[in-house]
Amino acid sequence: MSHAIELDAVTLARGGRVVLSQVDATIRMGEFVGVFGPNGAGKTTLLHAILGLLQPLAGAVRILGQDVARGQSHCGYLPQQRESLADLRIRAWDFVASAVDGERWGLPWLGRAGAVEVDRVIALVEADALASRRLSELSGGELQRLRLAQALIGKPKLLLLDEPLASLDPRFQHSIVALVKRIQSTEGVTVLFTAHDPNPLLGAMDRVLYLGRQRAALGSVDEVMTSDVLSRLYDVPIDVLRVNGRIVIVASDGTVEPRPECRHA
């Protein structure tokens, strides 16, 4: 199977508003794809469609050659962090175990196989030293490793990560990206990684999926992150600048991306 995800003329809406229209894209097995675009461009909406949580208005979404069904067993999902974990006093091991069998809260009774799986994913995200500590003692980057461990339970073939770098400082951002890249390589998993700022992912991505104005562009960083492509995507003049190895996007109205405050969106 060469294709992990196929989008065939897909139109998606959220709250009665079309956010993606007639999008075609094919993600290959084992790829690391960064998904970018401004707030409201459809990054989370797209992940929800791949998970089967949102039905397209038109077109088809296929996973591993099959039409999407709700509750994709092939997908591991790390949603945007909305709840605070820092005040929870449960152990890190128990927090990861709470996601076994799809449960995110509570402390389920695990058989030996379940406990072995929890140990496996904790080791996979290099968090063995955190297992016995309480969540309230951990940093944001350490908590994100545990949430990633939850997404890896059951050995998914696709890993969908929604803004996992939000609110992390640059040191933790780069460590999370490097960790996901190692997991992609060792586990052979396909990664879709949404972010506002492409710069922390530049050395890790195989390709870029950029969303804007209901449309999408898919290709290598050099193919997509250009003034011509982004100007066509937004229907306004866009300048893409490369400064000291970083990408800076400047729109005709003076808006600059990535903006530091948008990392917390």
| Global confidence as pTM | 0.90
User: In this predicted model, what pLDDT tens digit does every residue of 231-263 receive, in sequence order?
Assistant: 998 888 999 999 988 999 988 766 656 543 333
Q: How far apart are CA 45 and CA 51, in angstroms?
A: 10
User: In this predicted model, what pLDDT tens digit does every residue of 16-56 receive, in sequence order?
Assistant: 999 999 999 999 999 999 999 988 899 999 999 999 999 99
Residues 6+ apart with CB under 8 A from 110: 97, 100, 118
* Mean confidence (pLDDT) of the chain: 89
Residues 6+ apart with CB under 8 A from 82: none
> Alpha helices, DSSP H only, in the chain?
43-51, 92-97, 112-124, 140-151, 170-187, 221-224, 227-234
pLDDT in the model for residue 255:
62
DSSP notation for 30-96? T-EEEEE-STTSSHHHHHHHHHTSS--SEEEEEETTEE--SS-TTEEEE----S--TT--SBHHHHH
User: In this predicted model, what pLDDT tens digit does every residue of 46-93 receive, in sequence order?
Assistant: 999 999 999 999 999 999 999 887 666 789 999 997 667 767 789 999
Cis, bond preceding 56 (omega within 30 deg of 0): no
pLDDT in the model for residue 83:
67
pLDDT in the model for residue 105:
45
* SS3 at position 123: helix
Q: Which residues of 58-96 are buried (b: 16+ CB within 10 A; e: fewer)?
A: ebebbbbeeebeeebebbbbbbebeeebeebeebbbbbb
In 3D, which of 65, 46, 18 has the Cα closest to residue 209? 46
User: CA angle at residue 50 from 44 to 53, to 5 degrees?
Assistant: 75
